[in-house]
């Protein structure tokens, strides 16, 4: 069952799922710490406390960090060491990242703390849970993570808030100093003990949170893409024969089969498609942007499925350096390297750009009087006096061009840091940031195709659209008027994009497809 705001997400007893992350990040679901996991934290912490007073240096416990790891820190300075680590690492810059990304990152870091492999005190995990449940959200700047040694600067911004320093967003969305905000919420600021600074910052939680959020959006948007493609086929007097299951089975990619099946369902019962299905139709085949939609959308679906598999593995991981193993060893490792997540974030940006690109080609075809099979130029009411959707396609093209730039992989770029101790980094955080921008761009591109196809389908009257496309068209018309003289177009695009973002289009689509 998906967690809701009144349904706490348990942390520590079992692995988290993507639905748990979405519930906490987007719906504000509270977290509930597992008692047995908290007991394990106390047991492991006792071992760290012993090491803290041992003459043998242990990284992160009694040494400096990164290139300063050879510096032995005397016991009386080790509390200062942890506080200084957080203050120095909270070195981000730029605009604040989205609150849902920060909440996802906090939950995922809490999950690793509760694994018992990091050596933190139970009260440290409890304070992070309190901060999540309070509704206060640390201000996390966009730049500062190289995606290796964890998302250091972003996670340090969260840890800084736990210490009562830095800034947080309050429940009303305004920023305020963290100290007074914690006091008002009844949260005692943390004084970090040995190793806890590392444990709070050394994970891939930011990039993983962005991956989970992006995958959820893309699963919805790919359903929308199948819808808009089918509606464009209908508007352009295309054929649905190419989406037949026996043809798709000749190339057995699961995503392709799924997209073709959805397009068939969307077009079922269309008078428009049926009107030119006979042997007297002179057209042999449709353009690639129509005919190959299942192949492109399906490849994107299969890429998302791979990304989901990677995310599931990461959700089961405990990432810290060093880690406290079950036999009591404290070992350095490289599990904080973000390559597995960074790669799939980049893969998804490529898929997003291609799905948007093929959607823009379908839109342009509906606007071109030479290729639209009888539709007015640019779907204008009075072409020449009116420009119709001419410039909406410009906007689409501009966004698609941006998406192509965002598809350039971040994960192939490594910049050495920390005096060459950290000489190969993943740039996974950067891959996540550009993927979220790409997902937003795809939403705009699909909104414009939906807006255009809806008008084009209406212009095929008196032939009726399919029940599914008709129902979606009716939804669009609750926000945007039908064909007529030119009007301010930007609000129409924004209204349809908001319908998509809200899930309203998916709700109608899912209901109608299941009934068809």
pLDDT digit string, tens, across residues 283-331 = 768 999 999 999 999 999 999 999 999 999 999 999 998 898 988 888 8
Least confident of 23-32, 80-89, 200-209, 286-295: 80-89
Asked if the model's pLDDT at residue 273 lies above 90, the reply is yes
**Which of the pair, 124 or 195, is modelled with greater confidence?**
124
- Phi, psi for residue 502 in degrees, rounded to 5: -75, -15
Q: Where are the domains of the chain?
A: 9-203, 211-515
CA 139 to the chain's CA centroid: 19
- For residues 173 and 100, what is the distance between their CA atoms, to the nearest angstrom? 12
Q: At what angle do helices 504-515 and 254-267 cross, to 10 degrees?
A: 80
pLDDT of residue 69: 59
Q: Identify how many contiguous H helices and E strands the chain contains and give both numbers.
A: 20, 9
- For residues 402 and 169, what is the distance between their CA atoms, to the nearest angstrom? 30
**Which of the pair, 512 or 72, is modelled with greater confidence?**
512
pLDDT of residue 73: 67
| DSSP 8-state symbol, 241 | G
Cβ atoms of residues 349 and 404 within 8 Å: no
Contacting residues for 485 by C-beta, under 8 A, at least 6 apart: 381, 382, 385, 386
Catalytic residue among 59, 117, 343, 389: 59
pLDDT digit string, tens, across residues 350-400 = 999 999 999 999 999 999 999 999 999 999 999 999 999 999 999 999 999
Q: Model's pTM, two decimal places? A: 0.94
Distances, alpha carbon 18 to alpha carbons 82, 210, 327, 429, in Å: 31, 11, 30, 18
pLDDT of residue 60: 65
Q: How many CB atoms lie within 10 A of CB 279?
A: 4
Distances, alpha carbon 5 to alpha carbons 137, 160, 231, 364, in Å: 16, 26, 36, 43
CA 469 to the chain's CA centroid: 28
Given the candidates 3.30.420.280, 2.40.170.20, 1.20.200.10, 1.10.10.60, the CATH classification of the domain at 211-515 is 1.20.200.10
The verdict on whether 394 is a catalytic residue reads no
Asked if the model's pLDDT at residue 461 lies above 60, the reply is yes
**Which CB contacts under 8 angstroms, 24+ apart, belong to 130-135?**
130/185, 130/187, 131/106, 131/158, 131/161, 131/162, 131/182, 131/187, 132/24, 132/30, 132/31, 132/103, 132/106, 132/107, 133/30, 133/31, 134/185, 134/187, 135/28, 135/170, 135/171, 135/185
Asked if the model's pLDDT at residue 280 lies above 80, the reply is no
Asked if the model's pLDDT at residue 268 lies above 70, the reply is yes
Cβ atoms of residues 82 and 190 within 8 Å: no
SS3 251: coil
Cα-Cα-Cα-Cα torsion 479, 483, 487, 490, nearest 10 degrees, comes to 50
Among 58, 50, 43, 37, which residue's Cα sits nearest to residue 323?
58
Cβ atoms of residues 151 and 432 within 8 Å: no
Asked if the model's pLDDT at residue 1 lies above 60, the reply is no
Cβ atoms of residues 445 and 395 within 8 Å: no
- For residues 164 and 184, what is the distance between their CA atoms, to the nearest angstrom? 12
CATH code assigned to 9-203: 1.10.275.10
Please give the average per-residue pLDDT across 190-201, as a whole number.
92
| DSSP 8-state symbol, 422 | B
């Amino acid at each position: 069952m998906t967690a809701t705001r009144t349904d706490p997400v348990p942390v520590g007893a079992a692995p988290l799922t993507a639905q748990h992350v979405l519930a906490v990040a987007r719906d504000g679901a509270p977290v509930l710490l597992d008692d047995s996991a908290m007991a394990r934290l106390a047991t492991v912490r006792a071992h760290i406390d012993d090491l803290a007073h041992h003459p043998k240096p242990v990284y992160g416990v009694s040494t400096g960090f990164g290139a300063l790891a050879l510096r032995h820190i005397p016991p009386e300075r080790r509390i200062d060491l942890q506080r200084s680590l957080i203050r120095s690492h909270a070195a981000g810059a730029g605009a604040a990242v989205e609150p849902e990304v920060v909440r996802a990152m906090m939950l995922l870091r809490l999950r690793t703390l509760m694994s018992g492999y990091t050596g933190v005190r139970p009260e440290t995990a409890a304070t992070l849970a309190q901060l999540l449940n309070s509704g206060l959200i640390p201000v996390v700047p966009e730049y500062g993570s190289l995606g290796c040694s964890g998302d250091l600067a972003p996670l340090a911004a969260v840890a800084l808030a736990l210490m009562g320093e830095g800034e947080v967003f309050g429940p009303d969305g305004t920023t305020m100093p963290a100290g007074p905000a914690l006091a008002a919420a009844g949260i005692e600021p943390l004084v970090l003990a040995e190793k806890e600074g590392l444990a709070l910052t050394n994970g891939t939680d930011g990039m993983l949170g962005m991956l989970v959020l992006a995958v959820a959006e893309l699963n919805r948007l790919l359903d929308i893409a199948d819808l808009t493609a089918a509606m464009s086929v209908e508007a352009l007097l295309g054929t649905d024969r190419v989406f037949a299951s026996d043809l798709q089975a000749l190339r057995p990619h699961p995503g392709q089969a799924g997209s073709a099946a959805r397009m068939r369902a969307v077009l079922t019962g269309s008078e428009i498609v049926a009107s030119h299905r006979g042997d007297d139709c002179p057209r042999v085949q449709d353009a690639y942007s129509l005919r190959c939609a299942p192949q492109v959308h399906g490849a994107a679906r299969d890429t998302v499925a791979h990304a989901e598999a990677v995310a599931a593995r990461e959700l089961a991981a405990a990432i810290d350096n060093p880690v406290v193993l079950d036999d009591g060893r404290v070992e350095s490792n490289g599990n904080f390297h973000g390559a597995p997540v960074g790669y799939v974030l980049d893969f998804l940006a490529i898929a997003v750009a291609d799905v948007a690109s093929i959607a823009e080609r379908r839109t342009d075809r509906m606007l071109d009087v030479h290729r639209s099979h009888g539709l007015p130029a640019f779907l204008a009411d009075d072409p020449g006096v009116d420009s119709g959707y001419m410039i909406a396609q410009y906007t689409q093209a501009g966004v698609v061009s941006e998406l192509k730039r965002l598809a350039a992989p971040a994960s192939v770029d490594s910049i050495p840091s920390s005096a060459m101790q950290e000489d190969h980094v993943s740039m996974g955080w950067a891959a996540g940031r550009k993927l979220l921008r790409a997902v937003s761009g795809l939403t705009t591109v699909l909104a414009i195709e939906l807006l255009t196809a809806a008008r084009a389908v209406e212009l095929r009257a008196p032939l009726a659209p399919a029940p599914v496309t008709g129902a979606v068209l009716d939804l669009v018309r609750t926000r945007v008027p039908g064909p007529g003289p030119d009007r301010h177009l930007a609000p129409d695009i924004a209204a349809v994009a908001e319908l998509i973002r809200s899930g309203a289009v998916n709700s109608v689509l899912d209901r109608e497809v299941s009934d068809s």
